[in-house]
Chains A and B, each alone.
Chain A
Amino acid sequence: MELWGRMLWTLLSGPGRRGGTWGWAFSSWQPHSPLAGLSSATELVRHWTGVFEKRGIPEARESSEYIVAHVLGAKTFQSLKPILRTQPLTPQQLKCIQELSSHRLQRMPLQYVLGEWDFRGLNLKMVPPVFIPRPETEELVEWVLEEVARRSHTVGVQGSPLILEVGCGSGAISLSLLSELPQSRVIAVDKEAAAISLTRENAQRLQLQDRIWIVPLDVTLEGSWTHLLPWGPVDLVISNPPYVFHQDMEQLAPEIRSYEDPEALDGGEEGMDVITHILTLAPQLLKDFGSIYLEVDPRHPELVSSWLQSHPDLYLHLVAVRRDFCGRPRFLHIQQSGP
């Protein structure tokens, strides 16, 4: 940091190019904006990593690498051609990096800073406060795809399988399923207008809008599901519902607390509120022997199991629990069997 300051001083105080005031425009931190033509991508990453570290921003190196790569038009810093990493950047590029980095300095999640993020190979637009897809959820989709492939008689039939997603957020789950199951149809619901809007936009971006119905709906409201009955019984229900225990909400990182919609996270006292609503109402919409796939907190498999046992009238059974890539029990497969 000090080196940058000194370099800037010697340049600024040299044959007056811009005078001394240039560096003071950003008074909230030291003048560390490099002059155009001096810096390469590699140097900038090093510079901003230092800035982030000093301000206690987590993932300092990853953040600066992603930001610089993004401005240079690449997904990752490592994928940049060596020559692009060493040649000087334009003033516009420097300005862009400056702007994005200032957002990151405010603890904005990187996905919102860049405005986009990948999910299972799909590039999705990201806009606060719509919930950012987590990598674990990619495995939920993977599991569903495996199961659908297993019941191969449903694949290949037009409109099949018919899937209902509860709490679609950015559309990650729905759009992944649509893109990997060319015959499938999805009904995606969310109670948040911003999520509905973002899912619509992402569907358009990926040209999947013809096979998805996006419906603003709060499943916790009495009688809300009746609106969905006309679409007919669905083959499966999938959801990454808010499952954080209420008491854990305040321990979440500032990135999550300050920028993501708390309603997309908070699952009530035991994180079960939305989950139980989904389980209560799913039988009304599911075909016989239809399935529900949920992503949950590692403490939920037991809680869900006992809840289902105390609600035998739903005819739902916990068929399987699957672990995520960190070995935590994360995914539930619940099947309906009976009237």
Chain B
Amino acid sequence: MRPWRLWAAARCLWARPAVGPARRPLSCGSPQLEELFSSGGPLRTFLERQAGSEAQLQVRRPELVTVAKRLSEKEQELRETEHLLHDKNEDLRKLAENEITLCQKEITQLKHQIILLLVPSEETDENDLILEVTAGVGGQEAMLFTSEIFEMYQQYAAFKRWNFETLEYFPSETGGLRHASASIGGSEAYKHMKFEGGVHRVQRVPKTEKQGRIHTSTMTVAILPQPTEINLVINPKDLRIDTKRASGAGGQHVNKTDSAVRIVHLPTGWN
């Protein structure tokens, strides 16, 4: 399943609400959605395989399986209810129509859910991140560009209601920015920012340019995910414990604020 197809379908889903009276029972979603879920297509086959796995087998994506099973149940329900559309009893026909509308709504929702569950996400998507900007080639103009980009990210973070904390800020004399870093935290911050890293280039007539020539300057963005939890395993054999409390009696004889116990991690030299 090519990811871009999913993304294209997903974008269309979000752009258009999939509600409204259906003309043909099974295709109440957008055409792209229906194409994606077409019977016999790769997605269907994949879902059937997932749903078919026995409970004894290791189900790696239990949520997806649950939703897929529910989808096929609902579709079955829909097909059965359809027969009642041609019933002689009018009341029964009306009931069936309502039933079918509800069913279709739910089926579309389930299909949305399946797509969201299929889009791959990284472990670190929820993480906070460190943003670093550095002026590149282009002197003052590059530094102005860097300043603009940093401000842009600051405002973007505000727009997304993320936490934005400037850690370092080294401006230049003329209002530009040499280097800055910030800690950004919030819902799916890393997920949205992770592709921002790299060298960015601008080609424009700088403010400082008197003759109207176009200049090219660059700046670099670095995005570093901050781990939420660090699992550290330290072998006691890797530690050396130094005590340098005063020579002599120690105890009541001495009052030092330095506890004088230093633990050195031998492999890294950290203490």
- Point out residues on A near B: beta carbons under 8 Å: 58-59, 62-63, 66, 82-83, 109-111, 132, 134-136, 240, 242-244, 248, 252-253, 255-256, 260, 265, 295, 297-298, 324-328, 330
Contact = CB atoms under 8 A, between A and B. Distances in A.
Given A326-B245, A327-B243, A248 B253 contact: yes
A59 B168 CA distance: 30
Interface stretch (B99-107, B143-151, B226-234, B255-263): B255-263
Closest A-B pairs by Cβ, 5 of them: A326-B243, A326-B245, A110-B257, A136-B251, A135-B259
Given A83-B167, A326-B243, A59 B258 contact: yes
Contact of B165 (A83, A111, A252, A295): A83
Nearest to A249: B253
Contact of A297 (B249, B255, B261): B249
Contacts of A243: 251-252
B254 interface: yes
A324 B250 contact: yes
B176 to A, nearest CB: 20
B178 to A, nearest CB: 16
Contact of B254 (A62, A82, A134, A298): A134
A307 to B, nearest CB: 19
Given A325-B261, A326-B243, A253 B255 contact: yes
Interface of B: 165-168, 243, 245, 249-261
Nearest to A298: B249
Chain A at the B interface: SS class: loop
B164 to A, nearest CB: 12
A243 B252 CA distance: 8
B252 A62 contact: no
B250 A59 contact: no
15 contacts: A59-B258, A62-B258, A63-B257, A66-B257, A83-B166, A83-B167, A134-B254, A255-B255, A260-B255, A298-B251, A324-B250, A325-B245, A326-B245, A326-B250, A330-B251
Contacts of B261: 135, 325
A327 B255 CA distance: 18
Contact of A244 (B168, B252, B257, B260): B252
Nearest to B247: A326
Residue with the highest number of chain B CB atoms closer than 10 Å, among A63, A66, A243, A325: A325
Contacts of A326: 243, 245, 250, 260
A139 to B, nearest CB: 11
A256 B255 CA distance: 7
Chain B CB count within 10 A is highest, among A58, A243, A326, for A326
A330 B243 CA distance: 15
A242 B249 contact: no
A63 B257 CA distance: 8
A295 B251 CA distance: 9
Given A243-B252, A244-B253, A256-B254, 4 more contacts: A136-B250, A256-B255, A324-B250, A327-B243
Contacts of A59: 256-258
B262 to A, nearest CB: 11
Contacts of A63: 257
A244 B253 CA distance: 7
A251 to B, nearest CB: 8
Contacts of A324: 250-251
B257 A62 contact: yes
A42 to B, nearest CB: 13
Contact of A134 (B166, B243, B251, B258): B251
A256 B259 CA distance: 17
A82 B182 CA distance: 12
Contacts of B251: 134, 136, 243, 295, 297-298, 324, 328, 330
Between B165, B167, B257, B261, the greatest number of chain A beta carbons within 10 A of the residue's beta carbon is seen for B257
A132 B252 CA distance: 9
Contacts of A240: 252
A325 B243 contact: yes
B252 A134 contact: yes
Contacts of A66: 257
Contacts of A82: 167-168
B165 A134 contact: no
